[in-house]
Amino acid sequence: MPADGIPEADAIQTLRWTSHPIREESPFKSFLLVAVLTGVTAAADQTFPGPIDALLSFVLLAGCMSRYFAPTSYEIGQVGLVVSHLGRSRTFQWEGVGRVVVFPDGVFLSPFAHPSRLDRFRGCFVRTLGNAAVVQAIIQRQTGKPPRRNG
């Protein structure tokens, strides 16, 4: 193990963790999000006839915010990164990573070397909580891409 305390990429078999933002973020932020979701649902119930529209608005908004409400599991291995959320898994291979951008709460992996409008659809945001230094070091060693700071 090197002096920085982060294992060599070859020594790591697999690193797994789960991120569940509604539990990890401040209770006030979570309460505010649930209040907005409830308010929009109530407004839809008052605006449109019948409860179907309110239910539809609730389902659509909750679905859009599913990464906040439901846990996401990450697994870093020799071949790449596997992200699992709500029963769906997606794999990002290291050789397909074109750019690494570091944020305060995670790392964004993009297949493009330069910012693109398609980043949102093709890239992957990896939430790091408590293991940011290890995750960043492993990603840098595996991809060979120096991480860029957001901003």
100-144: per-residue pLDDT in tens? 999 998 999 999 999 999 999 999 999 998 888 999 999 999 988
Q: For residue range 134-145, list pLDDT tens digits in order.
A: 999 999 999 888
Residue 3 counted as domain residue = no
What torsion, rounded to 10 degrees, do the Cα atoms 56, 62, 63, 68 define? Answer: 180
Number of domains in the chain: 2
- Over 90: is that where the pLDDT of 50 sits? no
CA-based nearest residue to 138, from 77, 73, 93, 72: 77
pLDDT score recorded for residue 40: 92
Q: Is residue 79 part of a domain?
A: yes
Domain shared by 79 and 97, yes or no: yes
Are 79 and 136 contained in the same domain? yes
* pTM of this prediction exceeds 0.95: no
Q: What is the biggest distance separating any 2 CA atoms in the chain, rounded to whole angstroms? A: 65
Tell me if 90 sits within 8 A of 76, measured CB to CB.
Answer: no
Does residue 106 share a domain with residue 61?
A: no
Instruction: Summarize the chain as % helix, strand, coil (round to 5).
Output: 45, 25, 30
Q: Is residue 125 one of the residues assigned to a domain?
A: yes
Residue range of the domain that includes 88: 9-20+71-149
CATH number of the domain at 133, please.
2.30.29
